Amino acid sequence: MQNKKKEMNLNTLYKVFIYVALLTLAVSIVIPVGWVFLASIKENSEFYGNPWTMPKGFYFQNFIDAFEKANMGEYFFNSILVTMLALAILLVVALPAAYVLARYRFFGSKLINIMFMGGLFINVNYIVVPIFLMFVDADKFLKSLGGNSFFLNNLFVVALVYASTALPFTIYLLSGFFVTIPRDYEEAAYMDGSGYFRTMVQIMMPMALPSIITVILFNFLSFWNEYIISMTLLTKNSKTLPVGLMQLMQAQKAAANYGQLYAGLVIVMLPTLILYILVQKKLTQGMSLGGLKG
Amino acid sequence: MKKVRGKSIFITLCVAPAVILFVIFMLIPTFNVFKMSLYKWGGYSNTKQFVGLNNFKILMEDTNFFRSFQNTVLLIAIVTIVTMGFSLIFAAILSREKIKGQNFFRIIFYIPNILSVVVISAIFSAIYDPNNGLLNSIIGIFRGSEKTPILWLGDQKLVIYSLVIAMIWQAIGYYMVMYMASMASVPESLYESANLEGAGRIRQFFSITLPLIWTNIRTTLTFFVISSINISFLIVKALTNGGPDGATEVFLSYMYKQAYTNSSYGYGMAIGVVVFLFSFGLSAIINFVTKREPLEF
């Protein structure tokens, strides 16, 4: 009896310990993120003194300032444009390639598969300098022909680079899915006189929809949040949101415009947070499906 | 005959765009990293001079590079051990114990992973701010607010640990969710029989959970090391930009600095090559050291 009681006590202690640990981590995540939201509606004078005070009112002017004075409105539009374009290019290019690589053996197919697998290990941070220099050269060449510079400071080119660098992971994930679908579906379609192209678009792609959604989710997040490529390739006025935010961070050090900075932060993270809340199940499930992403 | 031709046209049309984009924007730039590392090249001017391995020779004597090397290794070591440890423990708790709000915790823990590194840096610069920061104002309650504020990002000795915390904060949820997924595939019957045998929670964790998801741990470990090199660059670039006085300079931030600020592209790329080889070597070592007979279940 005595023994059992002791065990019970130990068990409760263990439970308490677990909850404390879990809550500590949860608080360390929720509080800073929540604090940013509260800070974004504070007036600038409220930032001097205790950071834990609640905002006095709803100072929406921060967001208007961020949108207009700090150009976050324009950057927001740029980010949407680049992300959507990159996703579109990525899907149009990666889907057929993944399908064919999973289904057909042809001359060079093994080499191409190995190439994309190796691509998983190439990180953008290493190659951003050569990509930048490649565009500098290309622009110089265009100018020597009497044209205008085209490659640098072009949102479309940034989207193209995003899509290209996401190819290995996307193809890896999608062809991993296509391999699991039995061949019977296609054979039946061919029997009915459907061509290769129609079979792929009308039979196989709809079946891959869950994987396609996973691909879109992951790549949306990485394109929306990316800043090294866009910082390097967009040197003039048109920027994407994260780069604009970095600019705000640096400006804040000199001018102490806190309200604008935190409003900018909210503008950058709100879309991803909303998306996450809507699809969090899909995202965390997709991880076990897709395996890894650096 | 017509069908065979149709098929090869179809295959070519499907694969060619992906291959072309990959070659132009990934393969050639990667090749160029290696090629440029052999040249002395001052950027925009067109004076490329082949110098062989000279860039690497300079690199070996570059104390700044050596410092970024130390910083990177320190970051990788601490961040990897702490993150892996915590995410395994939390994953085991959340998937083995009956916890109220299990789903809630999983959702919350994953949030840092969906935020941009710039956002994370901005959040942490608010936390670490010496005067009005969240951290100092809490600590101020205990040690009295009149004392000089702690410079989390300004103190050369302290700043690297401030980065460590930010990196762990960023990574923990992602790996936890990943381990939860693989722990879910461990059959319940093993735990039941372990319970009958009287093995405790900790014993079960080390004798059942860990060995059975070992393959997964190995792969994540390899990827984690490679991605730490990248994430440390992204955070450093946005949060401290290598400062104060090079105290947080890491591999890739030093490379970027040499290539852009200093405009010595050839030298920057030589750094890139060394880092590339270093990360490959490190993951090969990890792969080798962690090799165990895979357990079937």
ipTM: 0.87
**Model confidence at A292: pLDDT above 60:** no
pLDDT of the residue at A223: 94
pLDDT of the residue at B44: 59
A151: confidence class by pLDDT, cuts 50, 70, 90: confident
B141: confidence class by pLDDT, cuts 50, 70, 90: confident
Span A255-270, pLDDT tens digits: 777 888 899 999 999 9
Q: Rounded to a whole number, what is the largest CA-CA distance in chain A? A: 94
Whether A125 contacts chain B with CB within 8 A: yes
A290: confidence class by pLDDT, cuts 50, 70, 90: very low
How far is it, in rounded angstroms, from Cα A77 to Cα A93?
A: 24
**Model confidence at B187: pLDDT above 70:** yes
A4: confidence class by pLDDT, cuts 50, 70, 90: low
* Cis before A271? omega within 30: no
Q: Which two tokens stand for residue A83?
A: 């992300």
Mean pLDDT calculated for residue range B128-146:
79
Average pLDDT, chain A: 87
Give the residue from B3, B21, B96 with the most A CB atoms within 10 Å of its CB, the best one to mutate: B21
CA distances to A47, A60, A260, B23, B29 from A65, rounded to whole Å, are: 17, 9, 6, 43, 40
Q: How far is B61 from chain A (nearest CA, A)?
A: 22
* % of residues, chain B, pLDDT over 90: 35
Whether B85 contacts chain A with CB within 8 A: no
Q: Rounded to two decimals, what is the model's pTM?
A: 0.88
Whether A225 contacts chain B with CB within 8 A: yes
pLDDT of the residue at A180: 86
CA B221 to chain centre: 10
pLDDT of the residue at A1: 52
A126: confidence class by pLDDT, cuts 50, 70, 90: confident
Mean pLDDT calculated for residue range B191-200:
87
**Do A220 and A83 contact (CB within 8 A), yes or no?**
yes
Q: Which of the pair, A164 or B49, is modelled with greater confidence? A: A164
**Do A268 and B161 contact (CB within 8 A), yes or no?**
no
| Domains of chain A and any CATH numbers | 63-289 (1.10.3720.10)
Residues of A in contact with B177 (CB under 8 A): 284, 287
